[in-house]
């Protein structure tokens, strides 16, 4: 009887957990993990739609949404991790590319369970999960490659950081270059300071709500023509390959 009650409680807990949308940071596997065995016993391959999660059952299919650009993809859990504070999922490199955050290293995501071990990814995916528009690019990357993110130093916590902020609400009518989006204001402020110092351009923050989650998008530059924006984007893309032009005149 006791075992029966425990089983019922476990099933109810599992069903409740699967109904939830989890948000947090996503990373991706470093190249050195190619061909290594995952916790489930299968080998990791960067071109497969797989991921690591701390507790979801192997074979679970989850939809991952990049909160920076609303791109989605579906992956199968076949490994354990990531074991880094704040990170909730570790994607294969090809899956991270579909979500468009290879250049950033990590991004804010929402994950939702949409299938189990008996479901095929193709059966639970939608067209948006498969075709995410413009091109974008584990096993567990608990030991990420050094310098995988050109601006990794920006995300490091330094003691006694002080920033002077001059806040003005604006109504942009220009072209800008979107670098990325964040839920954590600390990382946004650090990167904004880095960008302003590196490129000597104005930086603005656009506040968005994606799937009822507030995110902050960092946009660099105020260009009156698309040609000027394109030239600057070419320069910025060397460090931030997933950056793109935003035409605020259409907003």
Mean pLDDT of all residues in 168-182: 89
Separation CA 23–CA 126 (nearest Å): 20
Name the band, by pLDDT with cuts 50, 70 and 90, for residue 11.
Answer: very low
**Between residues 101 and 127, the one the model is more confident about:** 101
Domains, the chain, with CATH or none: 2-130 (2.40.40.10), 152-250 (3.30.70.1070)
CB-count burial class (<10 Å; 0-12, 13-18, 19+) for 137: middle
Two structure tokens written together for 37: 């065995």
Average predicted confidence (pLDDT) for the chain? 79
Q: Specify the DSSP class assigned to residue 47.
A: T
The 10 Å CB-count burial string (b at 16+, else e) for 22-32 is: ebbbbbbbbee
Q: Specify the DSSP class assigned to residue 165.
A: -
Proportion of the chain above pLDDT 90, given as a percent: 40
Is the separation of the CB atoms in 176 and 204 below 8 Å? yes
| Residue 16 phi, psi dihedral angles, 5° rounding | -65, -40
Is the peptide bond prior to 157 cis by the omega test (within 30 degrees of 0)? no
pLDDT tens readout for residues 67-81? 888 899 999 999 999
**Between residues 5 and 54, the one the model is more confident about:** 54
Identify how many contiguous H helices and E strands the chain contains and give both numbers: 6, 10
Q: What pLDDT is stored for residue 12 in this prediction?
A: 39
Separation CA 10–CA 20 (nearest Å): 16
The residue among 52, 46, 110 whose CA lies nearest residue 84 is: 52
CB-count burial class (<10 Å; 0-12, 13-18, 19+) for 184: middle
Count the Cβ atoms, other than its own, within 10 Å of residue 239.
16
The pTM score is 0.53
Q: What pLDDT is stored for residue 5 in this prediction?
A: 40
Query: What would you measure as the largest C-alpha separation in the chain, in angstroms?
Result: 73
pLDDT tens readout for residues 192-211? 888 888 889 999 998 888 76
């Amino acid at each position: 009887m006791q075992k029966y009650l425990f089983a019922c409680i476990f099933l109810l807990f599992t069903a409740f957990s699967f109904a939830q949308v989890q948000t947090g940071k996503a990373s991706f596997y470093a190249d050195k993990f190619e061909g290594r065995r995952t916790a489930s016993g299968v080998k990791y391959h960067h071109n497969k739609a797989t991921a690591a999660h701390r507790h979801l059952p192997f074979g679970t299919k989850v939809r991952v949404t990049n909160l920076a650009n609303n791109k989605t993809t579906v992956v199968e859990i076949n490994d354990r991790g990531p074991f880094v504070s704040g990170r909730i999922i570790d994607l294969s490199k090809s899956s991270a590319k579909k979500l468009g955050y290879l250049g950033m290293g990590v991004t804010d995501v929402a994950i939702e369970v949409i299938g189990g071990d008996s479901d095929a990814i193709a059966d639970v995916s939608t067209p948006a999960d498969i075709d995410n528009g413009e091109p974008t690019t584990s096993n567990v990357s608990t030991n990420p490659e050094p310098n995988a993110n050109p601006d990794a130093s920006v995300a490091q916590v330094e003691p006694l950081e002080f920033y002077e902020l001059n806040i003005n609400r604006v109504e942009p009518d220009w072209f800008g270059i979107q670098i990325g989006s964040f839920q954590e204001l600390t990382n946004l402020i650090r990167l904004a300071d880095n960008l302003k110092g590196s490129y000597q351009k104005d930086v603005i923050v656009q506040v968005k709500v994606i799937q009822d989650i507030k995110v902050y998008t960092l946009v660099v530059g105020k260009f009156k023509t698309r040609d000027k924006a394109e030239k600057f984007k070419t320069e910025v893309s060397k460090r931030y390959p997933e950056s793109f032009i935003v035409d605020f005149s259409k907003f």
